C-alpha cells in the first residue's frame, strides 16, 4: 500500500480505494493517471507520445484537450511495466499536488487502474 503524500484508503477497488483528501485550491490544469475514462469523451484531443530511447518503447502518453468550461488540460497516461515503476509515478503525483508555482501545472486528479 502506498500512503505517502496524504493518500487515504484501503487500496481496493471494492473498498475505499486510494484517494487524496480534497483541499480547496486555485483552478487546476492537469489530470494525471493510468486511465483516460470520462475525460477522453470531453476533449478534442491532441496526442503526444514519449519514448524511452534506450528501450525503444512508449513510456508515457499525454493528451491535450479542453474541459467543457474551456480550461485546457493535459492528461498523462503512463505505461507501467512492473511494480518497481509504481512508486516513482506515485511520487510524481504527490509532488505535483504539493507544488504551487506559476510555471508548474496543477494536479486536477489522479486515477489508478489495475
Please report the DSSP string for 27-57 in residue order: ---EEEES--THHHHH---EEEEEEETTTTE
pLDDT grade for 114, boundaries at 50, 70 and 90: low
Q: How many CB atoms lie within 10 A of CB 59?
A: 15
The answer to whether 20 and 3 are in contact (CB under 8 A) is: no
Residue for cell digits 474541459? 67
pTM over 0.75: no
CATH match for 26-111 among 1.10.238, 2.30.30, 2.60.120, 3.30.200? 3.30.200
pLDDT tens readout for residues 2-35: 444 555 666 666 666 656 555 444 333 444 443 4
What distance in Å separates the CA atoms of residue 103 and residue 49, rounded to the nearest whole number? 22
**Which of 41, 19, 49, 43 has its CA nearest to residue 112?**
19
Half-sphere exposure of 80 (CA within 13 A, CB side): 18
Amino acid at each position: 500500500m502506498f500512503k505517502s503524500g496524504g493518500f487515504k484508503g484501503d487500496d481496493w477497488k471494492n473498498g475505499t480505494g486510494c484517494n487524496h483528501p480534497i483541499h480547496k485550491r486555485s483552478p487546476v490544469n492537469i489530470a494525471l493517471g493510468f486511465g483516460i475514462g470520462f475525460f477522453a469523451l470531453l476533449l478534442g484531443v491532441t496526442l503526444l507520445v514519449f519514448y524511452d530511447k534506450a528501450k525503444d518503447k512508449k513510456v508515457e502518453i499525454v493528451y491535450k484537450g479542453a474541459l467543457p468550461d474551456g480550461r485546457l488540460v493535459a492528461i498523462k497516461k503512463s505505461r507501467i511495466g512492473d511494480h518497481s515503476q509504481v512508486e516513482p509515478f506515485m511520487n510524481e503525483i504527490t509532488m505535483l499536488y504539493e507544488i504551487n508555482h506559476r510555471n508548474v501545472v496543477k494536479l486536477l486528479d489522479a486515477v489508478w487502474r489495475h
